[in-house]
Amino acid sequence: MEAFWSVRRPVGALHAGDHAWLACSGAEEHEHVVGAFVRDGLLAREKVVYVAAEPDPQIPGVVGTPSPELLTVVHAGHTGARPVLDAVTAEVEAAERAGFAGVRVTLDLTCAARDPEATRELMECDAALDRLVRPSTALSVICRVDRRRVPPDAVDLLRAAHTVHAAPDPDFEDAVLRIVRTFDPRGLELSGELDASRHTVLDQALATVLAHGDDGPVHLDLAELRFIDLGALNMLAEVASRRVGRAPLVLDRMPSQLHEVIATVGWNMLPGLKVGCAAVLAPVPRP
């Protein structure tokens, strides 16, 4: 099924009837997004079905040892898409019979999508899955691939087949500011307005990014940031200065007015900060 429109929805806001898509850039993004999907499901005592390509997967978001009634792991192996669809359908029907208020399924399509022959079958099964999910009042699904291991054509094909794209839950969100992790490139997407009353949350979010990363650059996507105060610029410069000898903090897609503020103050005042992707006038939706 071809989707002509799509929405990006934070994983925490996915609901029954959502058949969502996630093209991961790596383990960190997988852990962050799929982990939240699994964890929220287990905490709400919903049924979670985790379909993995490998036999003993590290399942993100699992705390302790959940009971087998709550969490079922399906090993897809190289059996093809059809048997996996059948297994998932059986698990969903069993969960619904067992009276679970919610059923969450997440499937790794990476192996199937790597092979052009298998992709055709995969697309048919995905359409069948869609017919199962859409009318359901309990079922939500995330289909995922490791973007680096799948041909771009197959990624595009699968992306187009899903109307909902699973996005990370914000690290912070209120009426004024939203902070969301980004994974390719690594960093944060800031939207809204950033002032002294929200420096602490920025500090925490930055600390999380820095704690998990290597010494590579950290990108801040500012396309939808309408205001940044001097104190926050000072904080960013401070973070950059603690990374001496490592890659800089890169400010991407700065709105022209923010750019003007920094140019007036002087980039030399903010050592360690670099301008990345060009400034934009209007916010551009992320992929």
Partner 1 sequence: MGLTHRALLYDERSDFLAATGAFLRQAVEVGGAAVAVVRPDNLGPLREEMAGYRDAIEFYDSAEFYRHPVRTLKAYLELVDRVSPLRVHAVAEPVWDGHDARQRLEWQRYESLINVVFAGSDASSLCPYDRSTLPGDVLDQVRLTHPVVVDGADESTSDAYLDPACYSAARDRNRRHDRPADAEYLPIESADLQPLRLFVATRANAHELTPAAAQNLVTAANEVAANALAHGAPPMGAWVWTSGDEIVCEIGDHGHWRPHPLTGFVPPKSALDTGFGLWSVRLLVDLVELRGGWDGTFVRLRVRR
* Site residues, partner 1 (CB under 8 A): 176, 193, 195-197, 227, 229-231, 233-234, 237-238, 241, 256-258, 260-261, 264-266, 268-271
| Least distance CB 260 / partner 1 (angstroms) | 4
| Least distance CB 29 / partner 1 (angstroms) | 31
Spatial CA neighbour of 126 closest among 93, 91, 158: 158
| Least distance CB 256 / partner 1 (angstroms) | 7
Specify the residue, 65 or 264, whose C-beta has the smaller distance to partner 1.
Answer: 264
Q: Is 107 exposed, middle or buried (0-12, 13-18, 19+ CB in 10 A)?
A: buried
Direct distance between the N- and C-terminal alpha carbons of the chain, in angstroms, rounded to an integer: 19
Specify the residue, 94 or 176, whose C-beta has the smaller distance to partner 1.
Answer: 176
Q: Rounded to an integer, what distance in angstroms lies between the CA atom of residue 118 and that of residue 254?
A: 42
> Tokens representing 167?
């996005």
Q: Rounded to an integer, what distance in angstroms lies between the CA atom of residue 234 and that of residue 99?
A: 54
**How far is Cα of residue 227 from the mean position of the Cα atoms in its chain?**
25
Residues paired with 9 in a beta bridge? 166
Specify the residue, 86 or 238, whose C-beta has the smaller distance to partner 1.
Answer: 238
| Least distance CB 229 / partner 1 (angstroms) | 5
Residues paired with 7 in a beta bridge? 164
| Least distance CB 71 / partner 1 (angstroms) | 42
Instruction: Mention every residue, 6+ apart, whose C-beta is less than 8 A from residue 5.
Output: 163
**How far is Cα of residue 256 from the mean position of the Cα atoms in its chain?**
28
Specify the residue, 62 or 201, whose C-beta has the smaller distance to partner 1.
Answer: 201
Q: Rounded to an integer, what distance in angstroms lies between the CA atom of residue 251 and that of residue 175?
A: 23
| Least distance CB 257 / partner 1 (angstroms) | 4
Specify the residue, 22 or 239, whose C-beta has the smaller distance to partner 1.
Answer: 239
Specify the residue, 266 or 287, whose C-beta has the smaller distance to partner 1.
Answer: 266
